[in-house]
Amino acid sequence: MAATLRIDKEGDWKRFERALHRLGRLSFLGLHQEVGEALVTSTRLRFRHGVDPEGNRWPPSRRAQSEGGQTLRDTGLLANSIHYQAGGRHVEVGTNDKRARVHQEGLEIRAKRARYLRFKVDGGWVQLKSVKMPRRAFLGISEDDQREIQEIVQQRIEEALS
């Protein structure tokens, strides 16, 4: 986003001073709230499409494969927990769901006190040295998000200057 300023004469200087005054009244809280809402929407859409912020498909979960559902959409609790917090100087998008970090970053669990991990799956017992939960990132800013943020900021500045 580029901006050009040219001041030629006295009348332009007065108009410039008024524009600066209007920009000074720009509500950054409102701007950050609008950006937060846009990012929450795009993050929830990632759950619907099963993709990370770069557009890569998530590895399908066993549950989704066996039941024919969608990965990370069994109950909808994780997707619906996405929210934003905005202040005058920031906006944060995230979740307070404890499971989120495991899905966002992936996880490997290894047997520590025994040779194998032992647990029940589909009514039978399984022994494994480790279990991997693949990374299924959903938080982040995509290229589309970047463009939308730029549009929001540009629109707010233009509104303040008009």
- Tell me, yes or no, whether 125 lies in a domain: no
- Tell me, yes or no, whether 118 lies in a domain: no
pLDDT band, residue 81 (cuts 50/70/90): very high
- Tell me, yes or no, whether 89 lies in a domain: yes
- Tell me, yes or no, whether 61 lies in a domain: yes
Q: Concatenated DSSP letters for the chain?
A: --------SHHHHHHHHHHHHHHHT--HHHHHHHHHHHHHHHHHHHHHHTB-TTSPBPPPPHHHHHHS--TT-SSSHHHHT-EEEE-SS-EEEE---TTHHHHHH-EEEE-SSSSSEEEEETTEEEEESEEEE------S--HHHHHHHHHHHHHHHHHHH-
- Tell me, yes or no, whether 122 lies in a domain: no
- Tell me, yes or no, whether 4 lies in a domain: no
Cβ(35)–Cβ(154) under 8 Å?
no
Q: Domain count for the chain, please give it.
A: 1
pLDDT band, residue 12 (cuts 50/70/90): low
- Tell me, yes or no, whether 9 lies in a domain: no
What pTM did the predictor assign? 0.80
pLDDT digits 0-9 by tens, 126-153: 999 999 999 999 999 999 999 999 999 9
- Tell me, yes or no, whether 115 lies in a domain: no
Q: What is the mean pLDDT of the chain?
A: 89
Residue 30's domain comprises 16-106+134-161
pLDDT digits 0-9 by tens, 30-76: 999 999 999 999 999 999 999 999 999 999 998 899 898 999 999 99
